[in-house]
Amino acid sequence: MMRKFPAILAVTVLLAATGWAAKKKIATAPTAATVAEMTPEQRVIHALDRLAFGARPGDVDAVGKSGLDAWIESQLHPESIPQNPALEAKLAPLETLRMSTADMLKRYPSQQMLKGMVDGRIPLPEDPQARAAAKFAMARFAKSQKANILGDEAKPSAPKDEKALIAKLPLTDAQKQTLRTGSKDERAALLSSLPADQLMDVIDALPDAMKGRLAGQASPEVRRKLQILRSPQQVVNQDLIEGKLYRAVYSNRQLEEVLTDFWFNHFNIFLDKGADRFQATAYERDVIRPHVLGKFKDLLLATAQSPAMLFYLDNWQSMGVESPANKRGGKKQGLNENYGRELMELHTLGVDGGYTQADVTEVARCFTGWTIVQPQRGGGFEFAARMHDPGEKHVLGVTIPAGGGKEDAMKVLDILVQHPSTAHFISKKLATRFVSDNPSEVLVAKMAKTFTATDGDIREVLKTMLGSGEFWAADNFRSKVKSPLEMVVSALRAVDADMDSAQQIAGLMNTLGEPLYRKPEPTGYSNTGADWMNSASLVARMNFASGLAQGRLNGIKVDPARFNGAADQIERSILLTEPTEDAKRAIQAGFDAQKQMRPDRVGAAIAGLTLGSPDFQRR
């Protein structure tokens, strides 16, 4: 069996090649007069690398046939593109992606809500299936609470070997025999045939090692059933992450997916913070996605009023010192400046945008009263006048009169959107994501001018960027190191992989340093390619590339016939160009390090090394 790519070799070759290339591009961008443009073939590949998550087999020919300009125009209007039926089929079982936050909590209750149901403070769901799942979860919750109190006394003695454990299961003798000695398919069929309550009893009684094996052998439907019964609240997060990966791999509306990822990171929230475990789905679906190509003001307002953002940056608890609620006595939350600071530093003006600490405080005062109705139960935005600071405020030299209420914050958003620092900051961030790690001030200024002239029309700003010579400069072809998400998704697309389950890929993202929706800091993940270069990540990338090509990833299928043929044909089918000298050396060094390789695995080995090569690490 093919071994993992040796760590020292991976780091030496890829850091030398990819790291050098990343540093090389930090130099000042060339002026318009000195820019050498890409070839027509490079332009198509470049567009698929920057405006999509890489090419799938046949994409280059399809774009060439329709015309590059026409393809770009359609991507700028995603509603005009028919969606991929394969994607719709993948998303169909992920029902939480289509639920309101309140309905999601009823069907997949949090630990806090389960405790309320056990105590009788919260009613059970009316839906029969949801009610049954809630009852099962309540029983498990009560059992775990009892175990916490009684300790080892609450744990029943159980046989230690698997054979003895299986003998005690509530199954027929034939079913027990299948569980002990059946094939993978026979075990999967058995699990699929069991009613939900019996399935859970069987799984619960088994040792952890066997649980893991059986879960891995089960069908996606059974795995989901197990997840719902064992930990309903985790289903919500799992659906969100899998949905993102499915869309990135399968969607025909690629630019929309790239921009959804970009803007989520720009207006970042943290999935593991309290109520945001359930708010994040609606945040991406209803707040980010509808506005990725619209007016920046609409996107900014939607995030400002989002329960997910209000909870993440604690504004929902922020209370004016002179507010009626604060004067009434009792527990005082006080003024919270988190949102006011990040609104200016990260969302609009930028850290050097010309604001002061006094502006942070004044903006925070304007946003007092922007809160959430029952956040732990999926409530929405409301303005609570009792929490609002009614006094006069001064923001960036503008006086906001006393008594404005909710409109105080609306005026702040107008001030920020119209500020020249916002036009520059947003334009530079987009250029850094799509053009280069160090875009020229000339390009940024052009984009900022369009931002101002069009009242922050994101689509028009992107058109200005795409119409520049700098975007198509030859030096920018494969000049940016891919983020882990970009690398993984582009690899899956390059080999036309079929994902039955995205769970292993979701776990891989943690190893690669980009756990999806789990960046704790409000900065979001970096758009600068050079920030993703480190030895641990490079080794993980190589191991992923090898596992993908050789079909060793659970839930991922790759046709091995794709890797038949000569080495140069395999390399070109993945890279779409001839490999550079750096890539050739890396592939050859990796191939030479393999020992005892079976002839029928040579093609997959070449494919894995190509996916892990310096050329494929860049976009």
What pLDDT digit, counting tens, does each position of 473-495 carry?
999 999 999 999 999 999 999 99
pLDDT at 415 over 90: yes
pLDDT at 409: 98
What confidence category does residue 558 fall into, taking pLDDT thresholds of 50, 70 and 90? very high
Which range, of 79-88, 276-285, 298-307, 594-603, averages the lowest pLDDT? 594-603
Q: What is the pLDDT of residue 598?
A: 82
Long-range contacts of 212-221 (CB under 8 A, 24+ apart): 214/187, 216/554, 217/184, 217/187, 217/188, 217/191, 218/188, 218/191, 218/192, 219/188, 219/191, 219/192, 220/93, 220/500, 220/501, 220/555, 221/93, 221/192
Residues 158, 14 share a domain: no
Q: Provide mean pLDDT across the span 23-50.
A: 74
Residue 222's beta-bridge partner residues? none
Higher pLDDT, 544 or 231: 544
Annotate 13-66 with DSSP letters as a single string: HHIIIIIHHHHHTTSPPPPGGGPPBPPHHHHHHHHHHHSSS-PPTTHHHHHHHH
Give mean pLDDT, residues 334-346.
97
Return the pLDDT at 24: 42
Is 285 part of any domain?
Answer: yes
**Cα-based distances in Å from 384 to 75, 430, 557:** 41, 35, 52
In contact, 583 and 592? CB cutoff 8 Å: no
* Pairwise pLDDT comparison (183 vs 292), residue with the higher score: 292
Statement to judge: residues 274 and 399 lie in one domain: yes
Q: Name which residue leads in pLDDT, 583 or 468.
A: 468
Contact 89/499 with Cβ under 8 angstroms? no
**pLDDT of res. 440:** 98
Q: Are 171 and 202 in contact (CB under 8 A)?
A: yes
Burial class (CB in 10 A: 0-12, 13-18, 19+), 3: exposed
**Across the chain, what does the average pLDDT equal?**
88
Q: Does 112 map to a domain? A: yes
Segment holding 395, helix H or strand E: strand 393-395
On whether residue 224 sits in a domain, the answer given is: yes
- 528 versus 218: the higher-pLDDT residue is 528
pLDDT value, residue 32: 47
Pairing mode of beta strands 393-395, 398-400: antiparallel
Same domain, 190 and 215: yes
Q: Is the same domain home to 279 and 378?
A: yes
163 and 180 Cβ atoms separated by less than 8 Å? yes
Q: Contacts from 344-348 at CB under 8 Å and sequence distance 24+? A: 344/416, 346/266, 346/522, 346/523, 347/266, 347/267, 347/300, 347/303, 347/416, 348/300, 348/416, 348/417, 348/419, 348/421, 348/422, 348/425, 348/426
CB 332 within 8 A of CB 386: no
User: Would you say residue 185 lies in a domain?
Assistant: yes
Residues 293, 230, single domain; the answer is: no
> pLDDT higher for 377 or 575?
575
Smallest CA-to-CA distance from 356 within 395, 321, 312, 404 is with 395
> Where among 418, 443, 471 does a domain terminate?
418
How does residue 453 score in pLDDT terms, banded at 50, 70 and 90?
very high
How do 498-499 and 393-395 pair as beta strands? unpaired
Rounded Cα distance between 602 and 586, Å, is: 16
Between CA 218 and CA 205 the distance in angstroms is 17
User: Same domain for 498 and 372?
Assistant: no
Q: Which tokens sit at 73? A: 């125009």
Residue 515: pLDDT band with limits 50, 70, 90: very high
172-176, 411-415, 434-438: which has the minimum mean pLDDT?
172-176
CA-wise closest residue to 475 among 528, 425, 438, 428 = 438
Instruction: Categorize the per-residue pLDDT at 184 as very low, low, confident or very high, splitting at 50, 70 and 90.
Output: confident
Q: How many domains does the chain have?
A: 3
Predicted confidence at residue 361, as pLDDT, reads: 98
| Residue 449 clears pLDDT 60, i.e. is over it | yes
Question: pLDDT per residue over 285-325, tens digit each?
Answer: 999 999 999 999 999 999 999 999 999 999 999 999 989 98
pLDDT for the residue 451: 98
Statement: residue 582 has pLDDT above 90: no
Q: Is 225 found in the same domain as 99?
A: yes
Cα separation, 615 vs 17, in Å, equals: 9
DSSP secondary structure, 135-196, as one string: HHHHHHHHHHHHHHHHGGGGS----SSHHHHHHTSSS-HHHHHHHHH--HHHHHHHHHHS-H
Is 553 within the bounds of a domain?
A: yes
DSSP 312-346: HTTGGG---TTSHHHHT-SS------HHHHHIIII
384 and 285 together in one domain: yes
Mean predicted confidence (pLDDT) in 153-157: 48
Residue 8 has pLDDT above 50, yes or no: no
Rounded mean pLDDT of 240-265? 98
- Residue corresponding to tokens 């997949």: 108
Confidence of residue 338 (pLDDT cuts 50, 70, 90): very high
399, 418, 437 - which closes a domain:
418
Q: Taking 60 as the threshold, does the pLDDT of residue 333 lie above it?
A: yes
Q: Which domain holds residue 218?
A: 95-234
Position 39 in a domain: no
Q: How confident is the model at residue 27 (pLDDT cuts 50, 70, 90)?
A: very low
Is there a contact between 290 and 303 (Cβ–Cβ < 8 Å)? no
The answer to whether 195 touches 155, Cβ cutoff 8 Å, is: no
Q: Are residues 484 and 547 in the same domain?
A: yes
Contact of 349 with 300, CB cutoff 8 Å? no
Work out the burial of residue 264: count CB atoms within 10 Å of its CB; fewer than 13 is exposed, 13-18 middle, 19 or more buried: buried
On whether the pTM is more than 0.85, the answer is yes
432, two tokens: 């850094």
What is the spatial distance between Cα 238 and Cα 405, in angstroms, rounded to a whole number? 39
pLDDT value at residue 572: 95
**Model confidence band, residue 121 (pLDDT cutoffs 50, 70, 90):** confident
pLDDT value, residue 595 = 67
Counting DSSP H helices and E strands in the chain, the numbers are 33, 6
Q: Which amino acid is at 109?
A: P
Q: What is the pLDDT of residue 25?
A: 42
pLDDT value of position 529: 86
Which pLDDT does position 68 carry in this prediction? 98
**Local confidence band at 468 (pLDDT 50, 70, 90 cut-offs):** very high
197 with 259, same domain? no
Same structural domain for residues 260 and 395? Answer: yes
SS3 4: coil
Question: How does residue 20 score in pLDDT terms, banded at 50, 70 and 90?
Answer: very low
What is the mean pLDDT of the segment spanning 53-81? 97
On whether both 256 and 229 belong to a single domain, the answer is no
Average pLDDT over every residue of 208-225: 71
Longest distance between any two alpha carbons in the chain, whole Å: 81
Write down the residue that tokens 């099962």 correspond to: 136
Q: Please state the rounded mean pLDDT for residues 25-29.
A: 44
Residue 73 above 60 pLDDT?
yes
- Residue 479 has a pLDDT of 95
Q: Which position has the higher pLDDT, 129 or 401? A: 401
| Of the residues 418, 448, 472, the one at which a domain ends | 418
Angle formed at CA 489 by CA 595 and CA 579, multiple of 5 degrees = 55
For residue 148, pLDDT beyond 60: no
Report the DSSP beta bridge partners of residue 393. 400
Residue 460 lies inside a defined structural domain of this protein: no
Residue 513 lies in a domain: yes
Predicted confidence at residue 21, as pLDDT, reads 43
- Residue 590's pLDDT band, with cuts at 50, 70 and 90, is confident
